[in-house]
Amino acid sequence: MFRTTQDGGPALDSDVLIDWYRETARDLPWRRPGVTAWQILMSEIMLQQTPVVRVEPIWREWVARWPVPSAMAAAAPGEVLRAWGKLGYPRRALRLHECARVLATEHGDEVPDDVDVLLGLPGIGAYTARAVACFAYGQRVPVVDTNVRRVVARAVHGRAEAGNPSSRDLAETEALLPIRIDRAATFSAALMELGATVCTARTPSCDGCPLPSCAWVTAGRPVSEVVRRVQKYEGTDRQARGRLLDVLRAASGPVEQVALDLAWTHDPGQRTRALDSLLVDGLIEQTPNGLFALAGEG
């Protein structure tokens, strides 16, 4: 059965969900004891739109290489971009480097525990700030990602899809949290784990769900009216940017324009557009003599 929140709305059974999480949660390295807030912050930045299987080996390398913010701050931006590898959306790496510099110079080489202060750091948005406060410091704050929104939409509201993000998401998720602070953070992790491993977008495993009741299942699992758009990658500007960055990551120094031209030959106009966007984003730079390099390596 559903319990109710303080305002009388439906709630999830936190005891059942927490017990399930403690018994079945994936053994992810950033969840283990002794992991610092900085290392959790790195994992959260890496995990945005990137699967765990791709993140874990890179994260382990970064923890060994840059165990504290000042270690990363001392590195050149290009070095961080090169270490980012194929995680995608490389602006995340550049912003994390900027964040490391601020942490090193203004916060005593520590990640703050206050959500508002975290939101003032470079590259830290609403989700990441609350994820760090929750998972690194055990605070009772709502952590809302795509997985959480999906679980709440189905189990509480009986909808197959959560729809577009809304300002209501934070308040609604906060109302579901256990009152006890020491259980709230575990509940947040469990809610996210349920969406990532059981209540998935395309093939939810309802038979394996620990929740004793789900409004979506009760309603007969109605089909979503949302039309999914498949995001292609082949032939996109994003792929062109990646090819150009690959050339610069593999180089030991600045390269000539022709090396970039050869990396994307079938659409020169698209290549030019991709190159210009990389320059604008600060991911690469052009030297006075017209060569190209990763940020900070020109």
**Residue 110: active-site member:** no
Nearest to 111 by CA among 135, 142, 146: 135
Tokens 């004793």, located at residue = 212
Burial of 295 (0-12, 13-18, 19+ CB in 10 A): buried
State the catalytic residue, choosing from 23, 44, 79, 193: 44
SS3 147: helix
CB of 147 closer than 8 Å to CB of 196: yes
User: For residue 83, what are its two tokens?
Assistant: 């270490």
Burial of 128 (0-12, 13-18, 19+ CB in 10 A): buried
H helix count then E strand count, the chain? 15, 4
CB of 194 closer than 8 Å to CB of 22: no
Between CA 183 and CA 193, with CA 187 as vertex, the angle to 5 degrees is 150
CB of 124 closer than 8 Å to CB of 118: yes
User: For residue 149, what are its two tokens?
Assistant: 């929104």
Burial of 161 (0-12, 13-18, 19+ CB in 10 A): middle
* Tally of CB atoms within 10 A around 60: 13
Number of Cα atoms under 13 Å in the Cβ half of residue 127: 16
CB of 275 closer than 8 Å to CB of 260: yes
Catalytic residues: 44
